[in-house]
Amino acid sequence: MFTVEKYSQNKDEAYLFLIKQLHSLLEGERNVTANLANASSLLNQFLDNTNWVGFYLYEDAVDELVLGPFQGLPACVRIPLGKGVCGSAARDQKTYVVADVHQFPGHIACDSASRSEIVVPIIKEGKLIGVLDIDSPITNRFDEKDKQYLEQFVAELISYL
């Protein structure tokens, strides 16, 4: 399997390959649920040392994030904007990289094994669509390069939503 960690000497190349795989996988498909499901599966296979990969989708009527397609253990279904890492990233519309979730004020512990987290907001035409949420059982799992390329991954994904 081609993973970032196995090719950590060239993380850039590995992530660019992942983004090309996403494009090939989703090309021609417009069903949002199918595309998010395949994107979460692709990331789950690609990233080592993760225990949850998935999406929360924004419901404007209730101002909450609602669980979408994911890979991992059962998760929290609803997250209010501003609560936890996902709700904060959605509210602020910026990526959060959290080295130790137990140090994050208001962290929502859906999986007690999670130690670090990255959440990338999904914004299309100025509107919040949701967030990509990735958890790891290891502290300090995500770095600036992960942030850079997962934001590019989401930018590619947006064209299929």
Query: For residue 131, which of 78, 90, 84 has the smallest C-alpha distance?
Result: 90
φ, ψ (nearest 5 deg) of residue 77 = -85, -40
| pLDDT of the residue at 120 | 98
Local confidence band at 3 (pLDDT 50, 70, 90 cut-offs):
low
| pLDDT of the residue at 105 | 85
Local confidence band at 1 (pLDDT 50, 70, 90 cut-offs):
very low
pLDDT at 6 over 90: no
Report CA Rg, the chain.
15
Average pLDDT estimate for 147-160: 97
Average pLDDT estimate for 1-22: 77
DSSP string, the chain: ---TGGGGGGHHHHHHHHHHHHHHHHTT---HHHHHHHHHHHHHHH-SS-SEEEEEEEETTTTEEEEEEEEES---SEEETTSHHHHHHHHHTS-EEES-GGGSTT---SSTT--EEEEEEEEETTEEEEEEEEEESSTT---HHHHHHHHHHHHHHHTT-
Query: Residue ranges of the domains in the chain?
Result: 5-158
| pLDDT of the residue at 129 | 98
| pLDDT of the residue at 88 | 97
Percent of the chain with pLDDT over 70: 94
For residue 59, the cross-strand partners are 64
| pLDDT of the residue at 112 | 81
State the Cα–Cα distance between residues 23 and 41, nearest whole angstrom. 14
Local confidence band at 125 (pLDDT 50, 70, 90 cut-offs):
very high
State the Cα–Cα distance between residues 129 and 139, nearest whole angstrom. 28
Q: Which CATH number fits domain 5-158: 3.40.630.10, 3.40.50.720, 3.30.450.40, 3.40.50.2300?
A: 3.30.450.40
Average pLDDT estimate for 94-122: 91
Local confidence band at 113 (pLDDT 50, 70, 90 cut-offs):
confident
pLDDT at 111 over 80: no
What is the pTM (predicted TM-score) of this model? 0.93
Tokens of 144: 């600036």
Average pLDDT estimate for 65-78: 96
φ, ψ (nearest 5 deg) of residue 127 = -110, 135
